A and B are shown apart, each in its own frame.
Chain A
Amino acid sequence: MRRLRAIVSTDGTGQGGTKAHNSAQGTHGPAHGLVQLITPSGERVSHPEFDFWVRDITDEQLCSLFEDMSVIRRIDVEATALQRQGELALWPPLLGQEAAQIGSGRSLRPDDFVFSSYRENGVAYCRGVDLTDLVRVWRGNASAGWDPYAVNMATPQIIIGAQTLHATGYAMGIQNDGADSVAVTYFGDGATSEGDVNEAMVFAASFQVPVVFFCTNNHWAISEPVRLQSHIQLADRATGFGIPSMRVDGNDVLAVMAATRVALDRARRGGGPTFIEAVSYRMGPHTTADDPTRYRDPNELEDWAAKDPISRAAALLDRKGLLTDELQQQVKDKADAVAREMRNGCTTMPDPRPLDVFKHVYSTPNSWLDRQQEHYARYLASFGDPAGATSEEGAR
């Protein structure tokens, strides 16, 4: 097994912090090294800059991060099974990206606001999204699973990269309000080629707004490898926009947490945007409808399996004598309970009613749509099933 060395770029010159440990000075500039705090074999390696940012993480919290990652993997496996069993139409697996999602998701404050893609179900779990709501969209019962304001996370974006602009606009609002919360946007390596992501970086840099661009480089945009998107490291793209960036081992939950905290801290103190490239790997298909054997070398998967984020955290816990049978049983029980709850919520979810199709298109009366709804209600009623033709709340 090839062991990654902890390498940190220290060649940055710009963007110094105002305080001692806003060191992330090394985070600005080209040719980023990979920030790593836990090696694939579970060794905790020290790092002159980033150790500071996770110095408060207790053994108990490490166990908790391990549990979170295990639980979301279980959610992912259960949802994939639900799709195979015909209960979900589709599911976008996050297998392999648990550390990137938990390490960042657990760094956020409740009043921060997340704008993510459709693969950040682990982040949604951190935000407290109801388990049933995680699968609502994929069962076809709604176009969005939850009320964004209930968990301060926008519902996942399907248009690639579009959410980065929403996060930047939201951050402009935070800045106007004089608040110290942060907008955090998640997207993939493929999204970095989209105009919206580039425009978002232009606006974020121009207005110096509190936004974190969290790019999970999982190496594949469906069948297209990251080298098709970029000839340079993705983190280096941010440099051209004048946005400080970091390249972290995305399968290392502590490194991700440290990097996210650096970025959040900078944003809260008025230091503007940060770009994080979390280097990870999509171990599963793009979605349950995809077949990666058509385009991927199986050896590549094997290489990345050796860097698995959960095995790595387990190895660290083991070295510290924390990976007890009791802990493992506790984590398994939690994961099973969560999976059961999600499955139950999924299979007992009530179907929407026919006239719900017209609901919420507008928030105010609309003569065109009201007429179409009225006509369709009459059509449905013509089958002698007036109950099916009415909805509880009407059009809005």
Chain B
Amino acid sequence: MTQMTFARAINAGLRKSLENDPKVVLLGEDIGTLGGVFRVTDGLQKDFGKHRVVDTPLAESAIVGTAVGLAYRGYRPVVEIQFDGFIYPAFDQIVSQVAKLHYRTRGAVKMPITIRVPFGGGIGSPEHHSESPEAYFTHTSGLRVVTVSNPQDACTVIQQAISCDDPVIYFEPKRRYHDKADVDDAVDFRSAAPMDQARVLTEGTDVTLVAYGPLVKTALDAAAAAADEGISIQVIDLRSLAPVDYDTVVGSVRRTGRLVITHEAGQSGGLGAEVAASITERCFYHLEAAPVRVTGFDIPYPYSKLEMHHLPGLDRILDGVDRALGRPNSLSGLEG
């Protein structure tokens, strides 16, 4: 067990994968000599060589498109998209090729590609550096989409993603990169909880609070604050966004009867909408109130001095909890 930062934990997981499978190659901008703009790949090129940790020219579609070719050749590419807002030039290759080649070729061609994406806001960056584009990808069949919320998962799940024969988008909450925790990098990813399984973080009886990625920490803080007021919240870290582990969420909501979902991404057409709909379908007779979404607004990611208004914080989440509980809240008195 070693104390390490979130970024270092991903680095440890990448190192394990590079050690265990000679077919694993890393591709991305600035990931070699520099070690990545967040230093997530620090030291890997030095130890594994320029052919396994490849500094690429600046072209996202090509980074993903050549990963497709490498996968055709039997490689297991791990691609870094430097920032969430830079992924769109690669959108076509991800959606039309990475996601569909297994289906297109009736299973003949596997696409074991992992696309690492630092995502989310809260770091005071200019435009295009703080986005949460996960819903584009959860809506694309053929992809698996996961997020991690803590260093141990970061280390384990990256290895699971790389070993998965299906393509995986691996979202890294960049504002948590410097959070530290004890990590056991010797954990065998094969015997750890599968990456498509959600995790119940706190036992609670009044409200189910679903979060993922950067907001898991905020959700836990909210649960602790609510406990002071005698409200018992069950926090679930969704981990996998496609597919969502509904069995775990359903199990919780059937006990609490109330659901709050929170994410940084905008509300409309977001993952919260999907979770709310699915849980309503499956738990309608157990629900005591309509599911509540506490999310970013349907706006372009704002300039940094306003970003804390956009990002759901502890108080906004608790306001949502109050709404789910029918307690006085900011929308009390409003219809619909």
B89 lies within 8 A of chain A by Cβ: yes
Given known pairs A361-B141, A363-B165, the reply for A202 and B97 (CB within 8 Å) is no
A126 lies within 8 A of chain B by Cβ: no
Chain A residues near B105 (CB-CB < 8 A): 143-144, 147-148, 155, 360
Chain B residues near A293 (CB-CB < 8 A): none
Given known pairs A155-B104, A361-B102, A362-B166, the reply for A196 and B243 (CB within 8 Å) is no
- Are B108 and A174 neighbours in the complex by a CB distance under 8 Å? no
Given known pairs A173-B74, A176-B25, the reply for A199 and B110 (CB within 8 Å) is no
Chain A, residues 138-159, CB within 8 Å of chain B (1/0): the string is: 0000111001110000110001
B132 lies within 8 A of chain A by Cβ: no
A143 to B108: give the CA distance in the assembly, Å: 12
Chain A residues near B64 (CB-CB < 8 A): 165
**Interface residue ranges of B4-56 to A (CB < 8 Å):** 25, 51, 54, 56
- Are A165 and B108 neighbours in the complex by a CB distance under 8 Å? no
**Interface residue ranges of B53-84 to A (CB < 8 Å):** 54, 56-57, 59, 61-62, 64-75, 77
- Are B164 and A159 neighbours in the complex by a CB distance under 8 Å? no
Given known pairs A113-B72, A169-B68, the reply for A203 and B62 (CB within 8 Å) is yes
- Are B72 and A203 neighbours in the complex by a CB distance under 8 Å? no
A164 to B14: give the CA distance in the assembly, Å: 28
A186 lies within 8 A of chain B by Cβ: no
Chain A residues near B70 (CB-CB < 8 A): 169-170, 172-173
B86 lies within 8 A of chain A by Cβ: no
Given known pairs A165-B66, A368-B242, A368-B244, the reply for A203 and B97 (CB within 8 Å) is no
Chain B residues near A166 (CB-CB < 8 A): 65-66, 68-69, 72, 97
- Are B97 and A173 neighbours in the complex by a CB distance under 8 Å? no
B268 lies within 8 A of chain A by Cβ: no
A206 to B56: give the CA distance in the assembly, Å: 9
A149 to B71: give the CA distance in the assembly, Å: 12
- Are A168 and B103 neighbours in the complex by a CB distance under 8 Å? no
Chain B residues near A366 (CB-CB < 8 A): 144, 196, 243
Chain B residues near A169 (CB-CB < 8 A): 65-73, 77
Given known pairs A159-B97, A169-B66, A176-B25, the reply for A359 and B106 (CB within 8 Å) is yes
- CB of A11 to closest CB in B, whole Å: 29
Chain B residues near A368 (CB-CB < 8 A): 242-244
A123 lies within 8 A of chain B by Cβ: no
A251 to B57: give the CA distance in the assembly, Å: 36
Chain A, residues 87-102, CB within 8 Å of chain B (1/0): the string is: 0000000000000000
Chain A, residues 354-371, CB within 8 Å of chain B (1/0): the string is: 000001111110111100
- Are A364 and B59 neighbours in the complex by a CB distance under 8 Å? no
- Are A165 and B68 neighbours in the complex by a CB distance under 8 Å? yes
A240 to B68: give the CA distance in the assembly, Å: 25
- Are A172 and B66 neighbours in the complex by a CB distance under 8 Å? yes
- Residue from A113, A142, A199 within 8 A of B65 (CB atoms): A199
With CB as the reference atom, state the residue of chain A lying closest to B62. A199
With CB as the reference atom, state the residue of chain B lying closest to A176. B51
Given known pairs A176-B25, A363-B110, A368-B244, the reply for A168 and B65 (CB within 8 Å) is yes
Chain B residues near A149 (CB-CB < 8 A): 108-109
With CB as the reference atom, state the residue of chain A lying closest to B242. A368
- CB of A349 to closest CB in B, whole Å: 14
B92 lies within 8 A of chain A by Cβ: yes
B142 lies within 8 A of chain A by Cβ: yes
Chain A, residues 108-123, CB within 8 Å of chain B (1/0): the string is: 0000010100000000
With CB as the reference atom, state the residue of chain A lying closest to B245. A367
Give 25 pairs: A residue, B residue, CB < 8 Å, sorted on A.
A148-B72, A148-B105, A149-B109, A166-B97, A169-B65, A169-B66, A173-B70, A173-B73, A173-B74, A174-B73, A176-B25, A176-B75, A177-B73, A196-B65, A199-B59, A199-B61, A203-B57, A203-B59, A203-B66, A359-B103, A360-B103, A361-B102, A363-B110, A366-B243, A368-B243
Given contacts A155-B104, A172-B54, A196-B61, 6 further A-B contacts (CB under 8 A): A159-B92, A168-B66, A363-B165, A364-B166, A366-B196, A396-B107
Counting from the closest, the 7 A-B pairs by CB-CB distance are A169-B69, A165-B65, A173-B73, A169-B66, A199-B62, A170-B69, A368-B243
